[in-house]
């Protein structure tokens, strides 16, 4: 077509073209932008007007797809929305729009159930596998009988719905790869495995060597995970040996069982379900195995109920043999720094002070409260500030009584972090370092050597975390509470008693998976036989201490009570305890002020009064002075001063102990450093000097026993505890309870009436006093070789 046909001449055309080109060159940017703007508007318009139409198609597609999927994944649910009619509300429409898009799946994908998960427990069976080796015939028989007996017991406990009949497997016949690289694979229903290994030791080449080599190689094989047996539910080993040929562990008793236990811990990622048991079938084997079996059955039942090993395992079962816990001494008394609570206690509120005589009344109401609300809120505040003169009750209304250690307080957090369990609002319990050590056969505390206390059966607790001193060598470092009077809520004694026992056992159970814990000691530890009332604070601060003691004694738990010679009124009314300690931290007033930093103004008078009480009661209570020696504070030239105090109190025993450095800011602010810790020979010299000073005064005390390991020496009254040429510092605990039951808590009987057998030879002066049943280890767990 020609433009001239439309009547447009070529010259006009050329002009228009020129004009358009010129226009473009001059305004091309605004033109482009405007065009883009217009196009976007059109695009948005089309998007919003077309969407409903597209949505009508999509659900249909979803539905078809989801039907296919359902065939494959049963537990998946496809989220779909019915097609919306245009008449439906815009709200619905919005939600529909929101959910449009890729297919979404609700619910979990069906996973293989995880061993140990509660929810899946029902669906899974547990298979106990009993592995054994045998050269001379005994272990095979034992293994079969054992498996039968486990099955019978599980039947009795009605756990058969989960446990399959235990299988007995000879390690000489099985393929290790089938069981000891990964747990066996089961084609049918899923099964969880629990391994038990009964293993005699042989000091000749035997199948045990192959087995151990296999375990070791599996652990080190770089192609496999270092803990390929971690899917098993747990394991435990029992070793057989012969004490005639291999009397001690150092000499090889059950050495291969110990090795297997160690490797299994590594391969299973610390799934030690129960401590290694060891026995000699000719002597104690049956007994040891019965204990081991009892413990195991409890674990198996626990697994059945909860699906796992429970508290303490794994986690507590650190495979590295180490004692990396902080230095912890026996009976350490802790002073807390003043924090918010102590500030509260400092604000003396005379209005909240009650007569000591009123305690009976308050206690009755406290008990009643305890029965319903577990915790008494009786507003008790006992003033201990001025000894002997209880303040008159005032008429004004009592102030609000607070808890000593409330759950959300910094003190609570600090103490629980340090491993204390807080019971009620003012009591604490903790497993002492020696209890752990004895459970692992690494030595007991000096009280085993001196008095026959089994450290692994000892509970260390206090019914009062509060104290009225701020001793420089105090162990723990919290934030409070210290105080001269009881201004807190009082918990009833049964609440404390049950609570401390429960928590003690809980903590013992947590030791189950710790390497080196001995099965027989672990089993024994489940019966508390002794209670050290010390830990932190001041036990006789607790208004119902006698009731608490009564509960201990009723269960035949002995009581070793340590007090700080600041509460004479409470000391005077204290009923029988198995052994009554008074801390004597200095020989004179000035020294005592410097070391104990007492809060009482009349601390020296109180101290003197306590000594008088002890003297009066020395034929009723088994009294002990405990001296803690701090070089540069109370050691040098103080033997004479201490002798004067002994003359005054005439205790049955005097324990002398070198302070152990705790490195807290309390101690450093008091100028205490490592140089204040006396060496054992210095403690020995001091004790010899004290013995001499006592003799000079006509006091017949002699050095009865020592425990070099904890830098502790015992002086005893020779007239009373040296019988027929032998020291008798050990206690006859059963006799104590018999006397108590016969004569009552205020009964008339003396320490000699429950004096036990002679002090063991190895504990006497010059012999060191380390329990010969155990092995001394250094802080890294390495055996200490004595240089003689």
- Considering only residues 432, 490, 561, 712, which one is a binding residue for ligand SF4 as defined by CB under 6 A? 432
Any contact of residue 202 with ligand FMN (CB under 6 A)?
yes
Question: Measured between alpha carbons, how far is residue 532 from residues 333, 451, 456, 769 in Å?
Answer: 12, 13, 12, 20
Rank residues 345 and 435 by Cβ distance to ligand SF4 and give the closer one.
435
- Burial per residue of 767-787, b for 16 or more beta-carbon CB atoms within 10 angstroms, e otherwise: ebbbbeebbebeeeeeeeeee
Question: Is the distance from CB of 713 to CB of 705 less than 8 angstroms?
Answer: yes
Any contact of residue 653 with ligand SF4 (CB under 6 A)?
no
Give min distance, CB of 263 to ligand FMN, in A: 18
Stretch that binds ligand FMN, among 240-248, 358-366, 372-380, 674-682 (CB under 6 A): 240-248
- What is the DSSP pairing of strand 234-240 with strand 277-279? parallel
Question: Is the distance from CB of 630 to CB of 595 less than 8 angstroms?
Answer: yes
Q: What are phi and psi of 588, to 5 degrees?
A: -145, 170
Could you give the CA distance from residue 403 to residue 420 in angstroms, rounded to a whole number?
A: 17
Q: What are phi and psi of 50, to 5 degrees?
A: -90, -25
For residue 314, whether the previous peptide bond is cis, meaning omega lies within 30 degrees of 0, is: yes
Could you give the CA distance from residue 233 to residue 47 in angstroms, rounded to a whole number?
A: 59
Any contact of residue 200 with ligand FMN (CB under 6 A)?
yes
Rank residues 233 and 536 by Cβ distance to ligand SF4 and give the closer one.
536
Any contact of residue 453 with ligand SF4 (CB under 6 A)?
yes
Q: Which of 426, 275, 286, 266 is nearest to 345 (CA)?
A: 426
- Considering only residues 129, 458, 465, 545, which one is a binding residue for ligand SF4 as defined by CB under 6 A? 458
Stretch that binds ligand FMN, among 31-39, 51-59, 195-203, 678-686 (CB under 6 A): 195-203
Rank residues 336 and 434 by Cβ distance to ligand SF4 and give the closer one.
434
Any contact of residue 577 with ligand SF4 (CB under 6 A)?
no
DSSP 8-state code for residue 404: S
- What is the DSSP pairing of strand 530-533 with strand 558-563? parallel
Stretch that binds ligand FMN, among 144-152, 179-187, 199-207, 474-482 (CB under 6 A): 199-207
Rank residues 507 and 518 by Cβ distance to ligand FMN and give the closer one.
518
CB atoms within 10 A of CB 302: 17
The residue behind tokens 């629980």 is 416
Could you give the CA distance from residue 319 to residue 549 in angstroms, rounded to a whole number?
A: 39
Q: Which of 188, 193, 294, 191 is nearest to 238 (CA)?
A: 294
Could you give the CA distance from residue 545 to residue 534 in angstroms, rounded to a whole number?
A: 13
Rank residues 409 and 457 by Cβ distance to ligand SF4 and give the closer one.
457
Rank residues 170 and 403 by Cβ distance to ligand FMN and give the closer one.
170
Any contact of residue 328 with ligand SF4 (CB under 6 A)?
no
Rank residues 149 and 206 by Cβ distance to ligand FMN and give the closer one.
206
Give min distance, CB of 563 to ligand SF4, in A: 15
Count of residues touching ligand FMN (by CB under 6 A):
20
The residue behind tokens 């002009």 is 15
Give min distance, CB of 355 to ligand SF4, in A: 34
Could you give the CA distance from residue 512 to residue 440 in angstroms, rounded to a whole number?
A: 10
376 binds, among ligand FMN, ligand SF4, none (CB under 5 to 8 A by kind): none
Stretch that binds ligand FMN, among 39-47, 113-121, 129-137, 185-193 (CB under 6 A): 129-137
Rank residues 286 and 601 by Cβ distance to ligand FMN and give the closer one.
286
Q: Which of 492, 428, 431 is nearest to 464 (CA)?
A: 428
3-state helix, strand, coil in the chain (%, to 5): 40, 15, 45
Any contact of residue 134 with ligand FMN (CB under 6 A)?
yes
Rank residues 192 and 774 by Cβ distance to ligand FMN and give the closer one.
774
- Considering only residues 59, 166, 228, 241, which one is a binding residue for ligand FMN as defined by CB under 6 A? 241
Rank residues 204 and 397 by Cβ distance to ligand FMN and give the closer one.
204
Positions in 590-619 near ligand FMN (CB under 6 A)? none
Rank residues 72 and 204 by Cβ distance to ligand FMN and give the closer one.
204
CB atoms within 10 A of CB 267: 25
Stretch that binds ligand SF4, among 400-408, 428-436, 646-654, 758-766 (CB under 6 A): 428-436
- Considering only residues 146, 180, 235, 240, which one is a binding residue for ligand FMN as defined by CB under 6 A? 240
- Considering only residues 139, 575, 628, 664, which one is a binding residue for ligand FMN as defined by CB under 6 A? 139
Could you give the CA distance from residue 706 to residue 183 in angstroms, rounded to a whole number?
A: 51
Rank residues 436 and 609 by Cβ distance to ligand SF4 and give the closer one.
436
- Considering only residues 192, 259, 341, 460, which one is a binding residue for ligand SF4 as defined by CB under 6 A? 460
Question: Is the distance from CB of 597 to CB of 336 less than 8 angstroms?
Answer: no
Structural tokens at position 358: 């009123």
Q: Which of 660, 665, 658 is nearest to 713 (CA)?
A: 658
Question: Is the distance from CB of 314 to CB of 557 less than 8 angstroms?
Answer: no
Return the axis-axis angle of helices 285-306 and 138-156, rounded to nearest 10°.
Answer: 40
Any contact of residue 144 with ligand FMN (CB under 6 A)?
no
Any contact of residue 137 with ligand FMN (CB under 6 A)?
yes
Give min distance, CB of 257 to ligand FMN, in A: 8
Count of residues touching ligand SF4 (by CB under 6 A):
12
453 binds, among ligand FMN, ligand SF4, none (CB under 5 to 8 A by kind): ligand SF4
CB atoms within 10 A of CB 325: 10
Rank residues 139 and 427 by Cβ distance to ligand FMN and give the closer one.
139
Distance linking the first and last C-alpha atoms of the chain: 127
| In the complex, residue closest to ligand FMN by CB | 241
What contacts 312, CB < 8 A, 6 or more positions away? 509, 510, 511, 512, 513
| In the complex, residue closest to ligand SF4 by CB | 330
Any contact of residue 330 with ligand SF4 (CB under 6 A)?
yes
Any contact of residue 204 with ligand FMN (CB under 6 A)?
yes
The secondary structure of 365-396 as a DSSP string is HHHHHHHHHSS------EE-SSTT-PPPPPSS
Give min distance, CB of 208 to ligand FMN, in A: 9
Rank residues 549 and 694 by Cβ distance to ligand SF4 and give the closer one.
549
Give min distance, CB of 322 to ligand FMN, in A: 26
Give min distance, CB of 460 to ligand SF4, in A: 3
What SS3 state is found at 170? strand
246 binds, among ligand FMN, ligand SF4, none (CB under 5 to 8 A by kind): ligand FMN
Any contact of residue 201 with ligand FMN (CB under 6 A)?
yes
- Burial per residue of 480-511, b for 16 or more beta-carbon CB atoms within 10 angstroms, e otherwise: bbbbbbbbbbbbbbbbbbebbbebbeebbbbb
Positions in 521-540 near ligand SF4 (CB under 6 A)? 532
CB atoms within 10 A of CB 308: 18
Could you give the CA distance from residue 258 to residue 238 in angstroms, rounded to a whole number?
A: 9
Rank residues 260 and 643 by Cβ distance to ligand FMN and give the closer one.
260
Give min distance, CB of 184 to ligand FMN, in A: 24
Rank residues 435 and 764 by Cβ distance to ligand SF4 and give the closer one.
435
Structural tokens at position 709: 């390991």
Any contact of residue 447 with ligand SF4 (CB under 6 A)?
yes
Q: Which of 423, 426, 448, 420 is nearest to 435 (CA)?
A: 448
The footprint of ligand FMN (CB under 6 A) covers 134-139, 200-204, 240-242, 246, 252-255, 281
The footprint of ligand SF4 (CB under 6 A) covers 330-331, 432, 434-435, 445, 447, 453, 455, 458, 460, 532
């Amino acid at each position: 077509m020609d433009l001239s046909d439309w009547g447009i001449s070529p010259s006009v055309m050329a002009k228009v073209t020129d004009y358009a080109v010129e226009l473009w060159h001059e305004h091309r940017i605004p033109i482009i932008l405007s065009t883009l703007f217009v196009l976007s508007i059109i695009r948005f318009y089309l998007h919003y007007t077309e969407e409903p139409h597209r949505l009508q198609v999509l659900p249909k597609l979803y539905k078809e797809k989801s039907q296919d999927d359902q065939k494959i994944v049963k537990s998946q649910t496809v989220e779909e929305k019915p097609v919306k009619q245009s008449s439906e509300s815009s709200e619905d429409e919005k939600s529909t729009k929101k959910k449009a898009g890729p297919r979404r799946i609700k619910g979990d994908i069906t996973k293989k159930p995880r061993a140990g998960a509660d929810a899946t427990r029902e669906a899974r069976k547990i298979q106990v596998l009993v592995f054994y080796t045998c050269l001379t015939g005994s272990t095979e028989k034992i293994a079969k009988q054992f498996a039968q007996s486990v099955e019978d017991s599980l039947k009795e406990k009605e756990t058969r719905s989960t446990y399959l009949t235990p299988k007995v497997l000879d390690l000489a016949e099985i393929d290790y790869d089938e069981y000891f690289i990964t747990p066996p694979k089961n084609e049918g229903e899923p099964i969880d495995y629990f391994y038990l290994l009964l293993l005699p030791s042989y000091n000749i080449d035997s199948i045990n060597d192959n087995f151990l080599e296999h375990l070791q190689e599996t652990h080190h094989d770089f192609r496999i995970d270092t803990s390929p047996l971690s899917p098993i539910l747990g394991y435990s080993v029992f070793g057989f040996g012969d004490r005639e040929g291999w009397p001690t562990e150092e000499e090889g008793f059950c050495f291969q069982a110990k090795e297997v236990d160690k490797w299994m811990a590594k391969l299973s990622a610390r799934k030690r379900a129960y401590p290694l048991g060891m026995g000699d079938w000719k002597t104690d084997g049956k007994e040891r195995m019965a204990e081991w079996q009892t413990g195991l059955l409890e674990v198996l039942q626990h697994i059945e109920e909860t699906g796992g090993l429970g508290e303490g395992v794994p986690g507590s079962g650190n495979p590295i043999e180490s004692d990396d816990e902080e230095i912890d001494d026996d009976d350490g008394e802790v002073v807390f720094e003043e924090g918010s609570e102590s500030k509260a206690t400092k604000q003396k509120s005379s209005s909240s002070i009650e007569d000591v005589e009123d305690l009976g009344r308050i206690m009755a109401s406290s008990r009643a409260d305890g029965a319903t609300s577990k915790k008494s809120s009786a507003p008790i505040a006992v003033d201990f500030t001025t000894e002997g003169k209880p303040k008159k009750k005032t008429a004004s209304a009592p102030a609000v009584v607070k808890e000593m250690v409330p759950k959300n307080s910094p003190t609570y957090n600090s103490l629980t972090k340090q491993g204390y369990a807080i019971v009620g609002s003012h009591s604490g319990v903790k497993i002492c370092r020696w209890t752990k050590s004895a459970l692992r056969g690494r030595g007991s505390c000096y009280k085993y050597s001196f008095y026959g206390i089994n450290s692994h059966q000892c509970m260390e607790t206090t019914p009062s975390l509060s104290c009225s001193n701020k001793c420089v060598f105090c162990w723990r470092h919290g934030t409070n509470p210290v105080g001269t009077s009881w201004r807190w809520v009082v918990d009833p004694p049964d609440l404390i008693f049950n609570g401390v026992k429960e928590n003690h056992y809980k903590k013992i159970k947590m030791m189950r998976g710790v390497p080196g814990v001995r099965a027989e000691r672990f089993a024994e530890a489940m019966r508390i036989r002794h209670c050290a009332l010390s830990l932190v604070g001041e036990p006789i601060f607790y208004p119902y201490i006698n009731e608490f003691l009564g509960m201990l004694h009723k269960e035949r738990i002995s009581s070793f009570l340590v007090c700080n010679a600041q509460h004479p009124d409470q000391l005077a009314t204290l009923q029988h305890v198995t052994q009554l300690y008074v801390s004597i931290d200095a020989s004179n007033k000035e020294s005592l002020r410097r070391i104990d930093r007492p809060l009482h103004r009349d601390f020296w008078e109180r101290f003197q009064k306590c000594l008088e009480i002890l003297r009066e009661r020395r034929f009723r209570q088994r009294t002990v002075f405990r001296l803690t020696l701090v070089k540069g504070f109370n050691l040098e030239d103080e033997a004479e001063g201490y002798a004067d105090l002994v003359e005054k109190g005439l205790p049955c025993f005097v324990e002398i102990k070198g302070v152990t450095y705790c490195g807290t800011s309390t101690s450093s602010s008091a100028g205490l450093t490592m140089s204040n810790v006396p060496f054992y020979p210095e403690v020995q010299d001091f004790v010899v000097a004290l013995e001499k000073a006592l003799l000079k005064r006509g006091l017949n005390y002699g050095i009865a026993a020592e425990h070099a390991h904890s830098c502790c020496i015992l002086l005893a009254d020779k007239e009373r505890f040296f019988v027929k040429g032998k020291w008798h510092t050990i206690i006859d605990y059963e006799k104590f309870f018999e006397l108590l039951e016969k004569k009552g808590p205020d009964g008339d009987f003396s320490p000699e009436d429950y004096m036990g057998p002679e002090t063991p030879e190895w504990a006497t002066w010059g012999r060191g006093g380390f329990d010969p049943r155990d092995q001394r280890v250094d802080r890294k767990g390495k055996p200490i070789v004595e240089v003689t």
